[in-house]
Amino acid sequence: MTVYKRPDSPVYWYEFQVRGKRYRGSTGTTDARQAVKVENAAKQAAKQAAILADIMPPKAAEVPRMLLSEVARQWLSGSAVALRDHRNNESRVRLLFGTRLERQSGLGYVQVQCDGLPQGLYVDEVTTGALVTLKGKRLAAGVAPATVNRELALVQSLMGMASSLGVRMPPEPIKWSDRNRVASLRMAEGNGKLRWLSDLEVSKLLGVLVSRRDAEADNHGVIDAHDLVVMLLDLGCRYDEAASLPWTSVDFSARVVRLHRSKVQNASALPMTEALYAVLRARRDHPEMQGRVFVFPALTGAGNGRHVWTGTDEHRGHATAGIQKAMDDAGLNREAQRLGKVTPHTLRHTYASRLALAGVSLQKIAKLLGHSSVKMTERYAHLCPEDAGREAVAILNQKREGDKLHLSPTNVHTLGVPTVLQAVLSYKAKTPGPLMHKGIPALNAGGSCVTRTRDQRIKSPLLYRLS
């Protein structure tokens, strides 16, 4: 549109659009040619401003701020649909912001304060230094490096979501890894110590649980602790798989337990041992178990340390305090620093280790454990007696037979020196010339004898003759 005059103004005005935006203003002149020049200059300035807006980020004041805790809330809403371990993510988010659930007698689970990021922390206030400090506090509290890595990976996910929401980000990017191991947020995890229970340790643990079950027959928490340990030892399943097992997954006629492996999204049908079959039958026939959905129902406090099954159709969830106490009371954690701490997950390692020591192949163990890849099962490989090892032993045994002295049916390495000398002297008296024998250096009256033995009667021909 060209310049124009308003009815109420003697000067020319301009009006035009650039990328859909309307520009209007006065040229400040009554000269038409001069007015056109002003209009063209205004158009050029508008076009340049539009180009700069494309390549320059908006001012910080124009970008909205958001609390990191609010980003976490939105992330959890999506986690419930998109991720399998939503309940674990809820726990991680609580811990990240300084609260955790703790079971207290008579009160159930209550929130308690712990180290974490402030609830009022904005996304643009997150710094590498603050996360390094959080990492140090977690490690000082005895948290495993792998667990710290998961928590920091959660922060990285939250920062990624904040970026996608278009909120203001930190002026300095977070350095998630660094060649300086102390300053780096990510840490090497390694496989850690593979802790599994010996037969004696299993007997100690079951002894503690059986004595408590017999002494407190009306305490459902004690009964559950014993029965869960038997299931974890004899099925090798994860704790959560056992704790959330419905009765519809227990087939007594076929004597199998059908597990849904939520962690790896597969299913397994595992046969019951005689001990597990007896335990599950006793639970099924318990008067207070009739009509319940889950094998291990949710518990509620009944006073004086007792716990009873609730009337709701809920499973017990991740409640391991009773089992952990029995493990500690059985003395399984007296050398935790050297051997590794015994936890309910140790029972799964015990199941796999027992099979590996019995010669079951890693492929079969992986299938029984529900591993998505045999690579996950390779941590038990050192326990498997390999065929190559058996072949090596057989060959060495044959070689050892050839190394035996022809002088005596007894291996020379197992004889005392005087016995060996008697055999040599006897052979020397019957055989003229130097003594040559496999495994024994030449011995003669005038020559030297090269040998590693420290016995001077063999090293010296003179002493040999006098002995």
Enumerate long-range contacts of 140-147, CB under 8 Å, 24 or more apart: 141/115, 144/192, 145/187, 145/188, 145/189, 146/189, 146/192
Please give the pLDDT value at position 402. 60
Range of the domain at 86: 68-164
On whether both 52 and 98 belong to a single domain, the answer is no
pLDDT, residue 46, reads 84
C-alpha to C-alpha distance for 299 and 38, rounded to whole angstroms: 82
Tell me which DSSP letter residue 272 carries.
P
| 176 belongs to a structural domain | no
Burial class (CB in 10 A: 0-12, 13-18, 19+), 273: middle
Domain match, 73 and 52 both: no
User: Is 104 inside a domain boundary?
Assistant: yes
Give the tokens for residue 383.
Answer: 């326990």
pLDDT for 145 equals 83
Q: Determine the residue type at 377.
A: T
Looking at the fold, whether 284 and 324 belong to one and the same domain comes out as yes
Q: Are residues 211 and 339 in the same domain?
A: yes
The pLDDT value given to residue 138: 87
349 plus 416 within the same structural domain: no
Residue 318 lies in a domain: yes
Handedness of CA 226, 231, 233, 238 (dihedral sign): negative
Whether residues 254 and 115 share a domain: the answer is no
* Domain-terminating residue out of 140, 164, 188: 164
Kindly state whether residues 99 and 138 are assigned to the same domain: yes
393 located within any domain: no
User: Any long-range contacts for 164-167 (C-beta under 8 Å, 24+ apart)?
Assistant: 165/66, 165/71, 165/74, 166/63, 166/64, 167/63, 167/64, 167/65, 167/66, 167/71, 167/123, 167/124
Report pLDDT for 146: 82
Question: Is position 426 within any domain?
Answer: yes
Shared domain for 213 and 308, answered yes or no, is yes
Burial of residue 34 (CB within 10 Å: 0-12, 13-18, 19+) is middle
Nearest C-alpha neighbor of 424 from the set 437, 410, 409, 411: 437
As beta bridge partners, residue 303 has: 306
Look at residue 371 and give its three-state secondary structure: coil
**Is position 392 within any domain?**
no
DSSP state at residue 386: -
**Overall domain count for the chain:** 4
Whether the CB-CB separation of 230 and 279 falls below 8 Å is answered with yes
Q: Are 207 and 158 within one domain?
A: no
Q: Over the range 247-268, which residues count as b (16 or more CB within 10 Å of their CB) and which as e? A: eebbeeeeeebebebeeeeeeb
314, 226: one domain: yes
Residues 72 and 116 occupy one common structural domain = yes
Write the CB contacts of 357 (distance below 8 Å, at least 6 apart in sequence). 383, 384, 385
Compute the distance between CA of residue 393 and CA of residue 7 in angstroms, rounded to an integer: 112
In a domain, 415, yes or no: yes
**What was the pLDDT predicted at 398?**
75
Of the candidates 164, 191, 215, which is a domain's last residue?
A: 164
* Cα 25 to chain centroid, rounded: 67
**Last residue of some domain: 35, 56, 77?**
56
Domain-located, residue 181: no
Residues 256 and 112 in one domain: no
Quote the pLDDT of residue 81: 66
**Can you give the pLDDT at residue 410?**
46
Q: What is the chain's percent helix, strand, coil content, to nearest 5?
A: 50, 15, 35
pLDDT tens, per residue, the chain with 467 residues: 578 888 888 888 888 888 878 888 888 888 888 888 888 888 888 888 877 666 665 555 578 999 999 999 998 888 766 555 666 788 888 889 988 877 666 666 677 888 889 989 999 999 988 898 888 888 888 888 888 888 888 999 999 999 999 999 999 888 887 666 656 677 676 555 688 999 999 999 999 999 999 999 889 999 999 999 999 999 999 898 899 899 999 999 999 999 877 665 567 789 999 999 999 999 999 999 998 999 999 988 888 888 999 888 888 888 888 999 999 999 999 988 888 889 999 999 999 999 988 888 888 888 888 887 778 788 877 777 665 566 666 777 776 666 554 434 444 444 444 454 455 455 455 555 554 444 444 444 444 445 555 555 555 554 455 44
CATH of residue 262's domain is 1.10.443.10
**Do 350 and 230 meet the contact criterion of CB atoms below 8 Å apart?**
no
